[in-house]
Structure 1
Amino acid sequence: MAMTIDNRISCFAKTLFHKLSYFAYTTVVSKMKISICFLAVSSSRAASKHWTGERVLSIVLLGMAPAAYLCPSPLLDYSIAAALTLHGHWGIGQVLTDYVHGDAKVKLAKAGVLLLSTATFFGLCYFNYHDVGLCKAVTMLWQI
């Protein structure tokens, strides 16, 4: 079953997906060695829910913009801070998925994005608590 090309290790991998399983069964055959391992695979249902969540958050942000102008409040300030931070976190996470490769680099990049998102959220909350808030700050910028 295994094919050898230019004396390099070639692998034959077969993946079986089960409806409720988050693991893929993978068999690797190379140079008379057979190893069996389990790889974590995200289910299509989780990806679909994540995609739906991104779209819902975008629509919620579109609704928050006029609400912030018409009736600014501390609750709306903190809601916008959370929604913008989550929107940015998911967006940068997708950029990392597309452009960062290698296990160590991916882990380091994800840790950096988590740190940046956490600092952003707490910075916006600090601004909301100790200053005029996001809604009034944007209104003040528009009046200049």
Structure 2
Amino acid sequence: MAAVIRLSSVCRRGIKPLFYQSTLLVRPLAVPHKHQEQPYLLTARIHSSQNLQASSNSKAASLHWTAERMLSVLLLAMGPVAYFNPGPVIDYSLAAALTLHGHWGLGQVLTDYVHGDTKIKMANAALFLLSTITFTGLCYFNYNDVGICKAVALLWSK
């Protein structure tokens, strides 16, 4: 089903088409008028809400991205080293690297899904607390038990 309206009534800014003043336009009736304009308003809101300061945040973001990639490569290299040469240095290095990797990963999840100043502050505080507890727990496990490398080897041996 379609509704027939004049093209000149569609032009809202007062600009009338030269050749199509009496031409008819067929538009589906099922699409409400407010839903046709909503994508433009949504994109306008998204683009206006971003506070981008390219000069100061650009370099920091680039350095952070580089550090994340270097940590990922380091974790890939630490796997074989931990398998062939387990020891306290590797155990504590794994504790630090795994905690930092998890902290940065969960930080990105919070950045994507938590909105509002108060909620962001609470989520970041909880993330720092979780990361601190994780690192402390892994160090405690390394000091008082067999360590991360030997624990993984024991899990694989059974």
Alignment size in residue pairs: 110
Max Rg structure: 2
Of residues 59, 70, 74 in structure 1, which corresponds to 2:73?
A: 59
Q: Evaluate the alpha carbon distance shift between residue 136 and residue 114 of structure 1 in structure 2; reply closer, same or farther with a 3 A threshold.
A: same
* Cα distance change on mapping 1:127 and 1:18 into 2, 3 Å: closer
Query: Does 2:112 match 1:90?
Result: no
Aligned identity (percent) is 65
How far apart, CA to CA, are the structure 2 residues paired with 1:80 and 1:132? 14
More helix by share: 2
Unaligned ranges ≥5, structure 2 = 1-47
Aligned counterpart, 2:42: none
Q: CA shift at 1:47, angstroms? A: 0.1
Taking structure 2 as the reference length, the TM-score comes to: 0.66
User: Greater relative contact order: 1 or 2 (C-alpha under 8 angstroms, separation 6 or more)?
Assistant: 2
Aligned Cα root-mean-square deviation (Å): 1.9
Higher strand share: 1
Residue 150 of structure 2: aligned partner:
136
1:17 shift after superposition:
5.5
Greater than 4 Å deviation, 4+ residue runs: 15-19
CA displacement 1:85-113 (0-9 Å, x = unmatched): 00000000000000000000000000000
> TM-score scaled by structure 1?
0.72
Match of 2:10 in 1: none
Distance 1:59 1:16 in 2: 30
